[in-house]
Structure 1
Amino acid sequence: MLAGMKRYAQIADILVKHGFGIVVDELFPGLPGHNLKLGRGEESPSLSVYERIRLSIEELGPTFIKFGQILSTRRELFPPELIHELSRLQDQVPALPFPEMEAVLDETLPGWREAFLHIAPYPVAAASLSQVHRGVLADGTQVAVKIQRPGIDEVIETDLLILSSLAERIEVVLPDYRVFNPTGLVREFAGQIRKELDFTRDGKNAERIRRNMAEIGGIRVPRIHWNVSSRRILTMDYIEGVRIDDVESIMGMGHDPANIAERGFAAYIKQIAIDGFFHGDPHPGNLLVMANGDLAFLDFGFCMVLRPQRRETFIRLLAGIAGTDVEACISAFADLGVRVSDEDIELFRDDLYILLLDYSDYEVQQYDFSKMAIELSEILRKYQLQVPGELMRLLKVIGMVGEIALALDPSFCFTERIRPCLDELVKEQYFSYDALKREISTGVGSIRTLLRIPDQVTSALKKVSEGKVRIDVVAHDIRRLQETLDRSTDRIMVGLITSSVVIGSSLLLLASGLNIPNVQYIALFGYGAAVFVGIYAIIHAFRVSRRADLRWR
């Protein structure tokens, strides 16, 4: 409790320092010991409000920096000026002395001194959550050792409690800000940063992407050394290379930047659209080009997951964007839960069409998917639409990948490159073996539902006969109902048999690559029989219905 109050006081001091005394007065009423300055802030009198927000967040520490970085993906919620400043948040902090990091090694990895020949005392990278030191294992393997900063988990948990209470307070004191869903944003962020604190999850993410990328040549993902890793220590292969945006160094090593761009784009398309599990932080510091030309992925603390149904919807959305298909985009938005009111739908459709049309006319060197995504976000914000956070993060990731590809290859065109990929993925969705299995499952479910109808009607009639339901009918109505049920059951059986023949024939066609003689002829015969039975069933049903109608008139 005392630590929490002390942290509240620190936050208030920082906000006041940067000129947000009025905000402190609203959110911390009666906070003792603070002379609130309600002006612009003595230390930054000439800066804009958005710049002062960024400076405040950086000074507030790792939890708030991470939160600001997450908010920078929500372009549909906040003004572009604020998004720009949040995107500049730096997660660089002074390195801690190695003896403090040794304490973490001693606590979480007993016996590490025997496992390592050497760990460099000076880190190669220092961030708010961890430091990375170069090391050598007992067998001579060069490794990178990621060590969590001591006590950082306690700091983050305290800050999360404060952020949660602030979000609740904002929704009460400033009801106009409820549209931003502060409590929901904090809840989503809390789950993410807790995952990042678990380095075991980080390592598992790396292994999954390593497996998924195995079939793409020239992609490198570091190997995890689990025998010298723990929840707060992660040891992996040490990878040397230059940042992917360092075009001069890449060319100096004798590699074509355009090939690197093509390979990186293909890797991300596979991760997003096929695997449904992708590296969520593709800034240039996490993507290195090695001396042999391999593209290496680093830092897997933040990876995103897309369920198959979500992937299909995102693919349809991207296909709609690439193909200037407004209706496809709106349909995909609706499936994602983004629904435009009836009053705004036509205006929204017009704005979206103009945006897609404008970018479809751009020359190759002019097209910038990240800018298009920003303008799309502004349209969503204009209509105050509630958008899933995963959609905005996905668009940001694709935008960042597009920016890197364009920096490597100025002739790189996002739409020209992604359109054939999307066409192939759409075919995969609707014409693959997995798609056939889904359709078969759906068809079987529908047939089961139809077959339950007679039982349900029988149950209803039983209740009528027991006097539980009172309905006034005459005898010929009951007979007519019975005949209708008999005809319906016959049609269901015919439909079930026909469907079974079609499904079986389809499976035979899929098996035609197994060198089974004449299998395709058997399948075609099955299709012909199904067509014949279907036509006969339709004609027979029409005749029976006409006779029944004449009899009961």
Structure 2
Amino acid sequence: MIRQMGRYRQITGILVKYGLGALITGIRLPLPGRRAAERPDGADPLYRRIRLALEELGPTFIKFGQILSTRREVLPGPLIEELSLLTDTVAPLPFETIRPTIEDLCGPIATAFASFDETPVAAASLAQVHRAVLKDGTVVAVKVQRPGIRRVIEDDIDILEYFARQIERRRPDLAVYNPAGLVQEFAAQIRRELDFVQEGKNAGALARNLRGSPGVVIPRIYPDYSGPLVLTMDYIDGVRVDDADGIRAIGVSPEEVTDTLLSAYLKQVFEDGFFHADPHPGNLLVTETGALAFVDFGTVGILRPERRDAFLRLVAGIVDEDSDAIVDAYRDLGIVIPDRAVDLFKDEIYATLMGPGSYGIGEVDIAGVMEEIPATLRRYHLKVPLPMMQVIKVLLFLMAICRDLDESFNFTARAGPGIRAIRRRQVFSMDGADALAKAIGQQVRDTTEIPGAVNAALRKLSAGQISLAVGSPELDALGASIRYAANVTLIGMVAAAFVLGSALVIFSSEPPAGPGLCSMISSMTLSGFLVAVLIAVAAAYAALKRR
């Protein structure tokens, strides 16, 4: 905590600088010393100031903002747009600062490499990339993690977790957005990005999955030159996928790139369930041969088979304007819609499907629907799994890039055949047959077990080993009324016994012998009579009040 005090002070100064000092007061940052004067730039809207503050706060907060930009069901659209502009491009470190990291893994650079360019070709907040040549002449890209960045990030994660706890404690109205859960998701993701061994495995998995996809390139990883802090792969030279003019300049058709990009991502998401989940234009390059190359594999999405099927049904429901199918797909994706809100929710989904730009199959505004669905989820405070938002982010990026490359691009027309082909392959594949056989087998087992289960239950019931509890508000009320009536009746009977007993004593023709004893008994009898009358009156009052 003492080590983090300086960082707390730095964060406070930056928040105040951008007019976000109210956040400090709201969550009570434990900062010593005097606070800087607040200097908000009145010309900048709030969301832009948030982005600028995150950029100045450094790599952890930039990455956090980038991940938040995928949570369209949590944050308002204008903030999402601003966070999407976050960039973690930074000034590169001097080569002598990172040389020890490389040589700890590879040995002396002059011995391990034929040549090594000390000027990086790219520099980001977590790492920088250098061009090098191996002894066999292979041109490679060497990605080197910035020294000390892991400790900085772990300290910032602790601070973010503190922020989340304070927000949930002091702003219960914001707890529905699960700030602590968002920080936990972010922490898990950025730790994966810091593990270059895992990133190399991700690249290998994508290469195997896309091996049969024409026009797709995944750089080869070189394990002998890679480790937790260094990752070496084939050097890819190409044009950014969003640069249509640059693509034409190298003699490649942007329309062909669109088809390759679309088919590659449809396969990753809907067929393989393992996809490149950081699809900004700098991570997708078009080579001189027209191939589409994926780079940077630190962030991937994983979908289990049942979720892949649910996503396919979700997209089909959007295309077919079927709100029932969309809601069913949501449930299978783990989005719990309260029963009381289902009809209203379906109405909103249907209104979105029939909105501007949605004029029938083939003309459905898929991008508009994808943009609006998270807003609907946000209005209902529905918790959405991270993989779903990753897929929505990928699909929105995909549609935006495809429209930039081809003005006539229509997702329904171009992606529909590919999605239907994937569905057919899933149904008629061995995996599909195995799944069907397992489902049928499970149904058969469940059916044959019913008689045995019924017999076992009957035996336990007859042996008194089963107790049946039935609860109902009406039954509870009836039981309370019966108990009350019984109590009043009992009290009335007791009072009547007192009255009758007292009356018999008072009017007895043969009083007990002895004047003293007679006087005492008469007094006790009169007292009992009065008590009995009071009890009777109280019971009658209570009964009337109950009615």
Partner of 1:325: 322
Paired with 1:401 and 1:224, the residues of 2 have a C-alpha distance of 26
How has the CA–CA distance of structure 1 residues 29 and 140 changed in structure 2, closer, same or farther, with 3 Å as cutoff?
Answer: closer
Secondary structure at the aligned position of 2:70 is classed as coil
Displacement of 1:393: 1.6
Partner of 1:179: 176
- Percent identical pairs in the alignment equals 45
Displacement of 1:335: 1.5
Q: In the TM superposition, what whole-angstrom CA distance separates every residue of 1:400-426 from its partner, at most 9, and x where no partner exists?
A: 011111111111110112222232333
Match 2:61 to one of 59, 64, 68: 64
Q: Which amino acid aligns with 1:357?
A: M
Match 1:348 to one of 339, 342, 345: 345
Match 2:436 to one of 436, 439, 460: 439
Q: Which amino acid aligns with 2:68?
A: L
> Does the CA contact (< 8 Å) of 1:135 and 1:144 recur in 2?
yes
Displacement of 1:445: 2.2
Which of structures 1 and 2 has the bigger CA Rg? 2
Q: In the TM superposition, what whole-angstrom CA distance separates every residue of 1:79-115 from its partner, at most 9, and x where no partner exists?
A: 1121111111111111110000102113343344421
Q: In the TM superposition, what whole-angstrom CA distance separates every residue of 1:25-69 from its partner, at most 9, and x where no partner exists?
A: 2323562212254x5x25x23211111111110011101100000
| Structure-to-structure mapping, 1:16-165, within 5 angstroms | 16-29=16-29, 31-35=31-35, 37=37, 41-42=39-40, 44-165=41-162
Displacement of 1:138: 1.1
> Does the CA contact (< 8 Å) of 1:373 and 1:396 recur in 2?
no
* Structure 2 residue 406 is matched with structure 1 residue 398: no
> Does the CA contact (< 8 Å) of 1:247 and 1:257 recur in 2?
yes
Secondary structure at the aligned position of 2:354 is classed as helix
Q: TM-score, normalised by structure 1?
A: 0.80
Q: In the TM superposition, what whole-angstrom CA distance separates every residue of 1:200-220 from its partner, at most 9, and x where no partner exists?
A: 111111111111111111111
Partner of 2:511: none
* Structure 2 residue 238 is matched with structure 1 residue 265: no
How has the CA–CA distance of structure 1 residues 30 and 295 changed in structure 2, closer, same or farther, with 3 Å as cutoff?
Answer: closer
Q: Which amino acid aligns with 1:12?
A: T
Partner of 1:14: 14
> Does the CA contact (< 8 Å) of 1:368 and 1:403 recur in 2?
no
How has the CA–CA distance of structure 1 residues 12 and 355 changed in structure 2, closer, same or farther, with 3 Å as cutoff?
Answer: same
How has the CA–CA distance of structure 1 residues 445 and 254 changed in structure 2, closer, same or farther, with 3 Å as cutoff?
Answer: same
Displacement of 1:389: 2.1
Partner of 2:239: 242
Paired with 1:125 and 1:204, the residues of 2 have a C-alpha distance of 22
Q: Which amino acid aligns with 2:48?
A: E
Paired with 2:354 and 2:457, the residues of 1 have a C-alpha distance of 57
Q: Which amino acid aligns with 2:42?
A: P
How has the CA–CA distance of structure 1 residues 331 and 457 changed in structure 2, closer, same or farther, with 3 Å as cutoff?
Answer: closer
* Structure 2 residue 376 is matched with structure 1 residue 379: yes
Displacement of 1:154: 0.4
Partner of 2:197: 200
Paired with 2:416 and 2:466, the residues of 1 have a C-alpha distance of 62
> Does the CA contact (< 8 Å) of 2:131 and 2:140 recur in 1?
yes
> Does the CA contact (< 8 Å) of 1:13 and 1:34 recur in 2?
no
Paired with 1:29 and 1:68, the residues of 2 have a C-alpha distance of 20
Secondary structure at the aligned position of 2:42 is classed as coil
Paired with 2:238 and 2:365, the residues of 1 have a C-alpha distance of 27
How has the CA–CA distance of structure 1 residues 445 and 82 changed in structure 2, closer, same or farther, with 3 Å as cutoff?
Answer: same
Unaligned runs of 5+ in 1: 472-553
Q: In the TM superposition, what whole-angstrom CA distance separates every residue of 1:199-245 from its partner, at most 9, and x where no partner exists?
A: 11111111111111111111111111111111110001111111112
Q: In the TM superposition, what whole-angstrom CA distance separates every residue of 1:298-321 from its partner, at most 9, and x where no partner exists?
A: 111111111101100011001111
Unaligned runs of 5+ in 2: 468-547
Q: Which amino acid aligns with 2:123?
A: A
Q: Which amino acid aligns with 1:213?
A: L
Q: TM-score, normalised by structure 2?
A: 0.81
* Structure 2 residue 307 is matched with structure 1 residue 310: yes
Partner of 2:410: 413
| Structure-to-structure mapping, 1:506-525, within 5 angstroms | none
Paired with 2:309 and 2:339, the residues of 1 have a C-alpha distance of 26
Displacement of 1:453: 4.1
Secondary structure at the aligned position of 1:10 is classed as helix
> Does the CA contact (< 8 Å) of 2:240 and 2:285 recur in 1?
yes
> Does the CA contact (< 8 Å) of 2:313 and 2:325 recur in 1?
yes
Aligned length: 466
Displacement of 1:460: 5.3
> Does the CA contact (< 8 Å) of 2:314 and 2:329 recur in 1?
yes
Partner of 1:3: 3
Match 1:336 to one of 318, 325, 333: 333
> Does the CA contact (< 8 Å) of 2:5 and 2:31 recur in 1?
no
Q: Which amino acid aligns with 1:317?
A: L
Partner of 1:166: 163
> Does the CA contact (< 8 Å) of 1:370 and 1:396 recur in 2?
no
* Structure 2 residue 211 is matched with structure 1 residue 214: yes
Partner of 2:358: 360
Structure 1 stretch displaced more, 180-189 or 433-442: 433-442
CA RMSD in angstroms comes to 2.2
Q: In the TM superposition, what whole-angstrom CA distance separates every residue of 1:151-181 from its partner, at most 9, and x where no partner exists?
A: 0000011111111111011100111111110
Paired with 2:229 and 2:200, the residues of 1 have a C-alpha distance of 11
Paired with 2:453 and 2:30, the residues of 1 have a C-alpha distance of 66
Q: Which amino acid aligns with 2:133?
A: V
Secondary structure at the aligned position of 1:360 is classed as coil
> Does the CA contact (< 8 Å) of 1:93 and 1:126 recur in 2?
yes
Paired with 2:319 and 2:459, the residues of 1 have a C-alpha distance of 58
Paired with 1:470 and 1:376, the residues of 2 have a C-alpha distance of 47
Paired with 2:466 and 2:132, the residues of 1 have a C-alpha distance of 83
Match 2:186 to one of 182, 186, 189: 189
Paired with 1:470 and 1:13, the residues of 2 have a C-alpha distance of 66
Paired with 1:355 and 1:460, the residues of 2 have a C-alpha distance of 50
